[in-house]
């Protein structure tokens, strides 16, 4: 056991974020690493038991964390994403959820051996997936936009629906089995659900109005939103248990579609909070399980139920509900397979296990085991298979990391051609149709629009591109683009061309260089310098290092005016040169550079001389 509760809090945070790092470093599903870590420190080694150690605070902590996570996920649900996807998402979230509820309840009764009452309660709950498990999988798998958006919307929308279905089933059962049926409880349930949705909408509208009118200062906006989320969840949940999830979802969707710039600005902050909460809560839940529960998971009835849910119930509900929606067979297959259960299923099933036991349903004592069995097996199966299956179904954007170039000019067009030649996905973005002429003529992929416009955000698919480089002659714009997209691409993957030049009047652009983005290539080369080099005959050249011609020789022979552009590692990974680059090229790596014409001329002359010598030797013979 750990020495203190404070130490346990520290350990949970460390293990959660450490699991996320291990998953990122070794390209593993984060939820799998977190689940295994929680089991190791909890029931297996017995180091911590958060449910026991936190006491009465355990349940409120989990509930508030789930509310914030669900709100953060719903804050990404803009209706503009539904273009062409509204019908399948609606059908999956309604018809598909209903089919999954009925089939899951039948499986729980006939395979897991639960009574009809308990089966219909747990069947409603098990339709949920949720952002806690879907979002990490989507980050890892790099799906194409259509299936990714469907899984994201379903996970967030169905989360509160599943919890409400479980409550509804329990209320119906209570009503039917009562000796003196009273419809007041059912009326209260429907009234509380409507109130939760309206209250969430009102909270979203209210906080949005305060943002737009300046009633909340910038430094208080993020704290204010989090507190209102907790209030929104708590008020609704106190009236009727589990309606709080519906309330925060309604609040998040309302804010997401009000077009408030402040929401976009604070979205990255809430994503960080959500990631921290997911990491901590997953460790807490798995570490709180009992060893005997883990042993029960491998009983034939539970394994049979889990397999039926994974291979029959989920695929069948998706295929039936998406008939006539325009989804391809491959998309249906992927969405029909991916349905990991997570935090909401674990927490809500614990609540219903107690409620049903108190109501006299003794078979409810296996609900926790059944739930964790479904969570554990689906997390493992879907976590390890989503990337492989997406590639097999041609629904993955995996491949060499692509590059998004902002700014069209002679140099960027040639750079894009060079990257395409190296089999690297590349696209040029510029708001000037005239400047894009060279890209069009050169056969380079392009997008006509402003990189910072809302229209570009929704119309340009950025998933294939891992690097963003800004190469316009407007240094302030370059810095602004880098600053805007740095949270999305990562600090090490965002670059801008050097502003190293003097403006008219002698003012320096040095201040701009300190804002967002790493300096690309070398700080002594500005955009004008690179275009001038092209005009003076400089060419793009690829040099592969060998045991006979290593990096040391390459550096010694190059001319001072050569510009190192990027490095292609033997693994296919691309690394753009910058002053912060620490990678030393090794044998097998390919260096792409902008080389002076004298170097190319010498190379051509040497080749011609070699041909003449070969011909001369042949004639002599």
* Closest to 242 measured CA to CA, from 383, 343, 344: 344
Give the per-residue pLDDT at 558.
Answer: 76
Residue 544 gets which letter from DSSP? E
Contacts of residue 388, defined as CB under 8 A and 6 or more positions apart, other chains included, come to none
Structural Rg of the chain based on CA atoms: 29
Give the per-residue pLDDT at 14.
Answer: 93
- Other beta carbons within 10 Å of 510: 10
Contact 525, 500 (CB under 8 A): yes
Give the pairing type, strands 563-568 and 590-595: antiparallel
Contact 296, 37 (CB under 8 A): no
Domains delineated in the chain: 5-40+51-392 (1.20.1530.20), 402-611 (3.40.50.720)
* Closest to 130 measured CA to CA, from 495, 382, 359: 382
Whole-angstrom distance, CA of residue 572 vs CA of residue 79: 37
Give the per-residue pLDDT at 504.
Answer: 43
Whole-angstrom distance, CA of residue 523 vs CA of residue 513: 10
Whole-angstrom distance, CA of residue 185 vs CA of residue 181: 10
Q: Classify the C-alpha dihedral 386-389-391-394 as positive or negative.
A: negative
Two structure tokens written together for 565 = 């552009």
Extract the runs of DSSP E, i.e. beta strands, from 252-382. Answer: none
The 574-576 sheet, strands edge to edge = 539-544, 590-595, 563-568, 574-576
Contact 127, 165 (CB under 8 A): yes
User: What global pTM score does this model have?
Assistant: 0.68
Give the alpha-carbon dihedral of 413, 416, 422, 425, to 10 degrees.
-150
Contact 10, 19 (CB under 8 A): no
Residue 326 gets which letter from DSSP? -
pLDDT along the chain (621 residues), means of 10: 84 90 78 84 88 86 82 73 74 89 90 86 81 70 79 78 77 72 75 90 91 83 88 90 83 82 64 79 82 79 89 92 87 88 73 78 81 83 84 75 85 86 84 85 84 71 78 82 77 78 46 63 80 83 80 77 81 77 75 76 56 56 44
Contact 333, 388 (CB under 8 A): no
| 563, β-bridge pairs | 594
- Other beta carbons within 10 Å of 169: 22
Give the per-residue pLDDT at 455.
Answer: 67
For the chain, give the number of residues.
621
Give the per-residue pLDDT at 232.
Answer: 92
Two structure tokens written together for 245 = 């999830």
């Amino acid at each position: 056991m750990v020495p203190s509760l404070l130490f346990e809090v520290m350990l949970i945070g460390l293990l959660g974020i450490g699991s996320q790092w291990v998953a990122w470093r070794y390209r593993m599903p984060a939820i799998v690493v977190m689940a295994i870590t929680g089991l190791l420190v909890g029931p297996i080694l017995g180091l911590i038991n958060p449910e026991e150690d936190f006491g009465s605070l355990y349940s409120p902590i989990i509930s508030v964390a789930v509310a914030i996570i669900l709100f953060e996920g719903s804050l990404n649900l803009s209706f503009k994403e539904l273009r062409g996807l509204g019908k399948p998402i609606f059908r999956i979230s309604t018809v598909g959820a209903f089919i999954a509820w009925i089939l899951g309840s039948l499986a729980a009764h006939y395979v897991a051996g639960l009574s009809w009452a308990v089966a219909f309660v747990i069947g409603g709950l098990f339709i949920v997936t949720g952002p806690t498990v879907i979002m990490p999988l989507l980050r890892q798998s790099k799906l194409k936009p259509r299936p990714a958006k469907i899984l994201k919307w379903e996970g967030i929308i169905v989360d509160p629906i599943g919890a409400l279905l479980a409550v509804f089933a329990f209320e119906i059962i209570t009503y039917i089995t009562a000796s003196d049926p009273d419809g007041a409880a059912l009326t209260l349930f429907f009234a509380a659900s409507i109130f939760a949705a309206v209250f969430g909408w009102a909270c979203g509208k209210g906080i949005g109005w305060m943002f737009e009118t300046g009633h909340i200062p910038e430094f208080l906006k993020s704290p204010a939103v989090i507190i209102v989320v907790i209030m929104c969840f708590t008020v609704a949940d106190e009236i009727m248990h589990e309606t709080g999830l519906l309330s925060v979802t309604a609040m998040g969707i309302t804010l997401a579609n009000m077009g408030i710039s402040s929401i976009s600005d604070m979205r990255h902050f809430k994503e960080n909070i959500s990631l921290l909460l997911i990491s901590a809560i997953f460790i807490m839940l798995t570490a709180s399980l009992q060893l005997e529960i883990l042993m029960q998971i491998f009983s034939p009835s539970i394994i049979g139920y889990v397999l039926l849910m994974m291979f029959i119930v989920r695929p069948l509900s998706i295929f039936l509900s998406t008939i006539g929606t325009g989804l391809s067979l491959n998309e249906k297959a992927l969405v029909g397979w991916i349905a990991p259960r997570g935090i909401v299923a674990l927490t809500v099933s614990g609540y219903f296990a107690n409620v049903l036991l108190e109501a006299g349903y003794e078979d409810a004592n296996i609900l926790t085991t059944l739930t964790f069995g479904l969570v554990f097996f689906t997390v493992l199966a879907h976590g390890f298979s989503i990337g492989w299956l997406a590639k097999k179904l041609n629904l993955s954007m995996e491949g060499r990391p692509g590059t998004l170039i902002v700014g069209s000019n002679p140099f960027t067009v040639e750079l894009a051609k060079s990257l395409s030649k190296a089999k690297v996905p590349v696209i040029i973005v510029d708001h000037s149709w005239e400047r894009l002429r060279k890209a069009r003529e050169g056969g380079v992929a392009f997008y006509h629009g402003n990189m910072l416009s809302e229209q570009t955000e929704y119309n340009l698919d950025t998933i294939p591109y891992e690097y963003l480089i800004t190469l316009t002659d407007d240094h302030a714009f370059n810095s602004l683009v880098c600053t805007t997209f740095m949270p999305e691409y990562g600090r090490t993957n965002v670059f801008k061309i050097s502003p190293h030049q003097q403006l008219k009047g002698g003012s320096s652009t040095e201040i701009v260089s300190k804002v967002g983005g790493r300096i690309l290539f070398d700080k002594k080369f500005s955009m004008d310098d690179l275009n001038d080099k092209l005009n003076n005959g400089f060419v793009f050249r690829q040099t592969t290092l060998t045991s006979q011609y290593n990096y040391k020789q390459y550096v010694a022979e190059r001319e001072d005016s050569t510009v190192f552009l990027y490095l292609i590692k033997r693994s296919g990974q691309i690394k753009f040169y910058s002053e912060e680059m620490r990678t030393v090229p090794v044998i097998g790596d390919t260096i792409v550079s902008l080389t002076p014409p004298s170097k190319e001329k010498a190379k051509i002359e040497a080749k011609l001389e070699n041909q003449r010598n070969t011909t001369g030797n042949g004639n002599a013979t």
